[in-house]
Amino acid sequence: MSNIFALLLRRQQKFPRSPWVLVFLLALGLTSGWKCAEASTPVNAPAELKNLLTQIDNSANKGDVKAVMQYYSPNFTHGDGLTRQTMEKALTALWKQYPRLRYTTQLQSWKSEGNAIIAETVTSITGLPSSNSRNLALNSTIRSRQRLTSTQILRQDILSERTQLTSGAKPPKIEIKLPDQVKVGQQYTFDAIVNEPLGEDYLLGAALEEPIQPEKYLSSTSVNLELLSAGGLFKQGRAPATPGSQWISAVIMRGDGMTMVTQRFQVVKK
């Protein structure tokens, strides 16, 4: 019962909304040294491509922004509206806040398209707690598609994304139920279920939905936590009237830990 008092003292929290999702920016960089043969699986991918993925991961693990950004075209475009300049700024801020991130990228598929290469990758990122991140541990998985030509990335789109932040001795274990996509104006449900006994603990929580926009990559959002009457968050929402990408976050806190999960979903035309 005493845990509820500590929780109520922290009723309003300020969380980094989305800087960590910039990890997908490191998904892939290519050089022009391989043959542009058609391929559908990484088994037949050129050795140069595989080696370069490793090199980019290594540069990211060192926090070397300049080394990573050399693989992005000055005219780079992104599905979320980012530019090369905003990417570099955001990466610098991200690695200052999370100096101990570790990256692992896997090539899922690739193919030639004229003079370009289309490649899909999955990047996994883990971050140990540090004083800069207010002792938050990070785990993220980003699936993305890149369009490349010559030595640089021209275009990037995020296909799926899930990021989890935890803190404390015993952060809640959360299962998220959210559709991958919904039609414009359609009603949908979003559940964040705590999959463990609560004992005498009380839960505080909040759900937040936001459109994905470039300016939100560097912003923080104040979240008003409410006392939860059940073992998690159970919300109904309605998709906006225009297509696009959305972030939905669940924050659940108890006396000895906090978990925040952010997932992306797509709003599509009917």
Q: Are residues 32 and 81 in the same domain?
A: yes
> Is residue 41 situated within a structural domain?
yes
Residue 8's pLDDT is what? Answer: 37
Residue 89's pLDDT is what? Answer: 84
Query: Please, which residues have CB within 8 angstroms of residue 48's CB and are 6 or more apart in sequence?
Result: 31, 33, 34
Which domain covers residue 262, as residue numbers?
164-268
Domain count, the chain: 2
Query: Please, which residues have CB within 8 angstroms of residue 261's CB and are 6 or more apart in sequence?
Result: 162, 163, 164, 165, 174, 176, 192, 249, 250
Q: Are residues 205 and 156 in the same domain?
A: no
Boundary of a domain, candidates 161, 181, 198:
161
Task: With a cut of 50, list the residues of the chain below it in pLDDT.
Answer: 1-13, 16-40
Residue 33's pLDDT is what? Answer: 35
Read off the CATH number of the domain in which 40 is found: 3.10.450.50
Which residue has 């003292």 as its token pair?
9
* C-alpha distances in Å from residue 144, one per residue of 23, 27, 79: 11, 7, 10
Q: Are residues 86 and 184 in the same domain?
A: no
Residue 202's pLDDT is what? Answer: 84
Residue pLDDT, tens place only, 244-269: 888 899 999 988 899 999 999 999 99
Q: Are residues 52 and 138 in the same domain?
A: yes
Residue 141's pLDDT is what? Answer: 93
Report whether 212 contacts 240 (CB < 8 A): no
Residue 197's pLDDT is what? Answer: 78
Residue 11's pLDDT is what? Answer: 41
* C-alpha distances in Å from residue 51, one per residue of 54, 57, 157, 201, 235: 5, 10, 22, 49, 44
